[in-house]
Structure 1
Amino acid sequence: MARDNPITRRTAMKLTGAAAATALVAGCSDDDDNGNGNGNGNGGFNMEAGETIELNGLIGGWEGISPDEIAGEENPTLILEDGEDYEIGWPEGDGNDHNIEIWDENDELVEDYQTDTTTDTEPDDQMLDITATEEMAYYVCEPHDNAMRGEIQVE
């Protein structure tokens, strides 16, 4: 009977561990178009031209309300079509001061797309009519821009 070699056994265990880690990482890089693009490996949500995008204003992050594909998603990545019109905003919030603004890659306001900061939860007060342009990069609550920031991709 052959004697076990402890060095060979350790090397085999290391290789098995490395293979398992590689498989785990590979399994986490799902690149479909069903997610929010905020660290969970998903690419974003395609919004139909003319669509109304409603978010819940929460200090911890925007939460998707509608359309259905973004419902419950935190800071969902929105994929918009260049030159198309959309309505985006928050009809409900957590009672804290919020607004919504559209920013470019340099965190600068795009086309004066912003609402006043308010605790008012009336839908008409916190909705923006926008036309998608390539300079749009984020929708943001200015008072809470670290947590309440979602990505916009214009295609």
Structure 2
Amino acid sequence: MTHDNAVTRRTAMKLTGAAAATALVAGCNDDDGNGNGNGDGNGNGDGVTIAAGEDIRFDGQTGGWEGLEPSEIAGETNPTLILEDGEEYTIGWTEGDGTPHNIEIRDDGGDVVDDLETDQTDDPGDDQILEFTASGEMASYVCEPHENTMVGDIQVE
């Protein structure tokens, strides 16, 4: 191989490597910079449709609500829940990190909907479960003391 061909091949390889690195970085970035590519901060696309009557359970971790049940949200952090308008659901947390948490359902303005909130506790149990009928005013589920990290969207359709 001549010197010119070797230089050309090395240059092409460097450019190919740079293009691959750029593509890799571009694939990890999205419109809000959270790195999951979907813009909602939880890595699960457009949300998870929850069947009517389903029990929704979380592990309360200061860094976010970790999905336990149903299986579609297991392991997801702050998953977007898609609920059916007028249908009954339960939502709450049954495990935690020992830090006081609560769960609230809020509207777009940040107000609690229909008194759907629990008291703060570091020992979750049956008193950390809310029963409700899904309505269009519901926008999020939140832990009041950790509202910047323990917050997920609710979409009612």
TM-score range, shorter-chain basis? 0.7 to 0.9
Runs of 4+, deviation exceeding 3 Å = 17-29
AA in 2 matched with 1:38:
G
Counterparts in 2 of 1:48 and 1:41: CA distance versus 1, 3 Å? closer
1:151 & 1:109 partners in 2: Cα distance? Answer: 14
Q: How many residues of Structure 1 are paired with residues of Structure 2 in the alignment? A: 148
Is 2:42–2:79's contact at 8 Å kept on the other side of the alignment?
no
Change (3 A) 1:68 1:18: same
Q: Which among 136, 139, 143 is matched to residue 138 of structure 2? A: 136
> Partner of 2:145: helix, strand, or coil?
helix
Query: Does the C-alpha gap of structure 1 residues 23 and 148 become closer, same or farther in structure 2, counting only changes over 3 Å?
Result: closer
Q: CA deviation at 1:37?
A: 3.5
Unaligned runs of 5+ in 2: 5-13, 31-37
Which of 45, 69, 86 is matched with 1:83 structurally? 86
Please give the secondary structure, in 2, of the residue aligned with 1:62.
strand
Q: Is the 8 A contact 1:138 1:149 kept in 2?
A: yes
- Give 1:40 shift: 3.4
Would the alpha carbon gap of residues 136 and 118 (structure 1) be closer, same or farther in structure 2, given more than 3 Å must change?
same
Query: Percent identity over the alignment?
Result: 52
Which residue is equivalent to 2:73?
A: 70
In the superposition, the TM-score normalised over structure 2's length comes to 0.76
Give the superposition deviation at 1:87: 0.2
User: Which 5+ residue runs of structure 1 have no aligned equivalent?
Assistant: 4-12, 30-34
Q: Which residue of structure 2 lines up, in the alignment, with residue 102 of structure 1?
A: 105
Deviations 1:96-128 (Å, cap 9, x if unpaired)? 1000000011111111100111112223x1000
**CA contact 1:56–1:64 (8 Å) conserved in 2:** yes
The AA in structure 2 aligned to 1:126 is Q
Task: Determine helix, strand or coil for the equivalent of 1:143.
Answer: helix
Q: What is the TM-score normalised by the length of structure 1?
A: 0.77
